[in-house]
DNA sequence: CTGAAAGCGCTTACAG
DNA sequence: CTGAAAGCGCTTACAG
């Protein structure tokens, strides 16, 4: 009854059949006579037989494991995405190996992206879901793109909310543009004309893309985005706090600000509240992501939900299609949903 | 130059040595003459050789992969713990397979704990770090304990912030009792005598243990814990909100409440604020866990930090010691640290 | 220090 | 439907 002590040979001997037959029962790939199958199953049950997945993988070249690379699982956006990916993968009996790369700004010395890319491939994952880092750079370093291309030839790599122009890598992305447009329309409908942008970093797609959409949206109303109302301080609660502090130090301020994500918006809310402003009375604030806690900030946050389940299902579907050699679309876009809560209200006259 | 196409035999042929010598270079276990080693390394570099980890695992029985089972990675307590575990594991060149079991209350139909326990073992993890679920039950079901014991004989399983009495499974736990005591002393020093407990579930250790410590602490001051000031509604922001609503519906209320964790405390803060109470002026609130966002709630949260890095380092160290057949202490306790912020203040006279 | 050979545990054509 | 045999890619005693 002891652990991992048994092999298909033991089972075969105990059940009075050949190892091949035991294997056939395990895989279910070939017909086996009912009585032999029954005997085999009984023996397997009896000794608690657990087939060695590695021996099988050695033959089949399929590990039923996918790798996930993302910057920081302690960011709710990523953890909600991960959970959705895990559920989608489990439906296909895949497990996930997770590697967090953290911010390159914070740990410039270590290249966790390359480390995990290689480490996961060494562990024979069938494919990789890649988020953050170089695929969020507007202009990624040439050798980082080259690495992605090279490794992408070994195993399929799908970029989630990222991109790598000039490669054949598949992407699955939230419709950030549509989300920001919905946010702007909401603000316009409340009478806001003076709008700022908080958080993000220059050169990062999630910032540049949103900025471009805001600029465009304002132009559509005959308005300009004032450069000093754009405060690209980062992506954290701290960043949002700092961005709001910078904004409040200006002689004039907008009536509404678009946070680059929910954390930034929540940090900004805290700063504005501490400084005595009322949200949304004195200043409307929006987020982006739709993380769980956004519904519980004070005031609760108007934001854009990334539809995690849909995003994850698409990413896993496309990756597994590639694993299985199927055809897949180059780029997939998942719609985002405006969620109106308390942090936005009519513009002051 | 193509991917995964090469074996040690190819390398051996190209370098003019035997496969055994190639293997020796890879493992570094045995001395190889400098010039042969150089030739082998050059060839491996040239063809981008990636040794098949599964073939090796088949021989060595070591996958350099650990499994992590936890309820919900979207809870910051768990994601912060996971990240710390990952860093600790990476130092030893281990990767982590993650399985989320979610709440059994919310998904009673599925037994994700058993699913992942078996799935991870099938994938030949060298050991498992187990959190939540059955090891947080004051009285876990007999068959669930039996499963843990049985699987624990196959591969080492370390319980993190959980326990399983009657087994030899190693535990690594935060000193919750010490943390709650520090919180109580802080509240007593502020003059609070009327104290309630919000959140948690009856029968779950993280609730029962804290409740016992609060009861004891109050007794030490000649005080009683009023049963109606204990509102065990759960562990989420929603739970905290609901608990506070129940509390405010009572004819009398405490001057301070201990949230079972930070989410509950933050949900409670939101409810109290919405109902027009001022925190901490009208009511002091404490949390437990020290999640990142607790510093950014309004008001910021007085809580107990679980010292994630230390907790994780201990858990990984003990698990790997077991993997390598070393002796390990049965139970390890990691100190918690009181963090005083804005949500607590002097009791109203 | 080095090579030939066996073997880790499974699956898969190949015959029958 | 079923068994004997070969092989997946690596490592490890065993000789030398």
One digit per residue, the tens of pLDDT, for chain A of length 349 reads 344 578 999 999 999 999 999 999 998 878 889 999 999 999 998 888 888 888 998 888 889 999 999 999 999 999 999 999 999 999 999 999 999 998 655 555 578 999 999 889 988 899 999 999 999 999 999 999 999 999 999 899 999 999 999 999 999 999 999 999 999 999 999 999 999 999 999 999 999 999 999 999 999 999 999 999 999 999 999 999 999 999 999 999 999 999 999 999 999 999 999 999 999 999 999 999 999 999 999 999 999 999 999 999 999 999 999 999 999 999 999 999 999 999 999 998 6
Percent of chain B with pLDDT over 90: 82
CA contacts within 13 A on the Cβ side of B73:
27
Q: What is the pTM of this model?
A: 0.93
More confident residue, B260 or B54: B260
Parallel/antiparallel/unpaired status of strands B337-339 and B303-305: antiparallel
Closest chain A residue to B60 measured between Cα atoms?
A54
Q: How many CB pairs under 8 A join A and B?
A: 136
Could you say which nucleotides of strand C lie within 7 A of any protein CB atom? 1-5, 7-13
CA distance A205 to A101: 18
Looking at residue A109, what is its pLDDT? 59
Partners of B95 in the β-ladder = B65
Looking at residue B48, what is its pLDDT? 84
Q: A293 to chain B: which residues are within 8 Å by CB? A: 237, 266, 293
State the best of B51, B91, B95, B113 to mutate against chain A, taking most chain A CBs within 10 Å: B95
pLDDT tens for B215-257 read: 999 999 999 999 999 999 999 999 999 999 999 999 999 999 9
- Report CB contact under 8 Å: A154, B3: yes
- Report CB contact under 8 Å: A74, B80: yes
Does residue B134 carry a pLDDT above 80?
yes
What 8-state DSSP symbol labels residue B302? B
Q: Which strands sit side by side in the sheet containing A331-334, from one edge to the other?
A: A331-334, A170-174, A157-160, A127-130, A65-70, A95-100, B95-100, B65-70, B127-130, B157-160, B170-174, B331-334
**3 state SS of A297:** coil
- Report CB contact under 8 Å: B267, A296: yes
| Lookup: tokens for A258 | 């678009």
Does residue B2 carry a pLDDT above 50?
no
CA distance B285 to B298: 12
Angle at B238 between CA B234 and CA B239, to 5 degrees: 25
Could you say which nucleotides of strand D lie within 7 A of any protein CB atom? 1-5, 7-13
Structure-token match 């090891």, residue found:
B135
Nearest Cα neighbor of A231 from A222, A219, A241 is A241
């Amino acid at each position: 009854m002891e652990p991992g002590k048994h092999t298909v040979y033991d089972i075969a001997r105990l059940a009075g059949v050949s190892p091949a037959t035991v294997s056939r029962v395990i895989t279910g790939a070939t017909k086996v006579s009912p009585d032999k199958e029954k005997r085999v199953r009984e023996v397997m049950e009896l000794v608690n037989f657990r087939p060695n997945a590695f021996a099988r993988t050695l033959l089949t070249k399929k590990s039923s494991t996918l790798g996930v690379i993302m910057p920081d699982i302690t960011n709710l956006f990523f953890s909600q995405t991960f959970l959705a990916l895990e559920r989608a993968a489990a439906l296909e009996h895949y497990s996930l190996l997770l590697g967090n790369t953290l911010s390159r700004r914070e740990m410039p010395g270590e290249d966790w992206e390359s480390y995990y890319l290689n480490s996961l491939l060494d562990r024979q994952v069938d494919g990789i879901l890649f988020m953050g880092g170089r695929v969020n750079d507007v202009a990624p370093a040439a050798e980082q793109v080259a690495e992605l291309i090279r490794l992408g030839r070994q195993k399929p790599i799908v970029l989630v909310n990222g991109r790598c122009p000039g490669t054949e890598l598949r992407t699955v992305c939230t419709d950030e543009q549509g989300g920001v447009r919905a946010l702007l329309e909401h603000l316009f409908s409340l009478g806001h004309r003076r709008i700022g942008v908080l958080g993000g970093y220059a050169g990062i797609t999630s910032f540049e893309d949103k900025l471009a959409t805001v600029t465009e949206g304002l132009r559509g109303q005959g308005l300009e985005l004032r450069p000093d109302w754009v405060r690209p301080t980062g992506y954290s609660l701290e960043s949002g706090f700092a961005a709001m502090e910078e904004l409040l130090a200006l002689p004039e301020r907008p009536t509404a600000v678009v946070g680059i994500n929910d954390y930034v918006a929540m940090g900004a809310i805290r700063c504005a509240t501490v400084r005595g402003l009322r949200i949304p009375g004195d200043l409307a604030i929006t987020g982006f992501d739709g993380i769980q806690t956004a519904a519980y900030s004070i005031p609760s946050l108007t934001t854009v939900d990334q539809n995690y389940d849909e995003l994850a299902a698409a990413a896993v579907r496309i990756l597994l299609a590639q694993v299985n050699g199927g055809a897949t679309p180059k780029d997939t876009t998942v719609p985002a949903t405006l969620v109106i809560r308390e942090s936005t209200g009519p513009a002051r006259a």
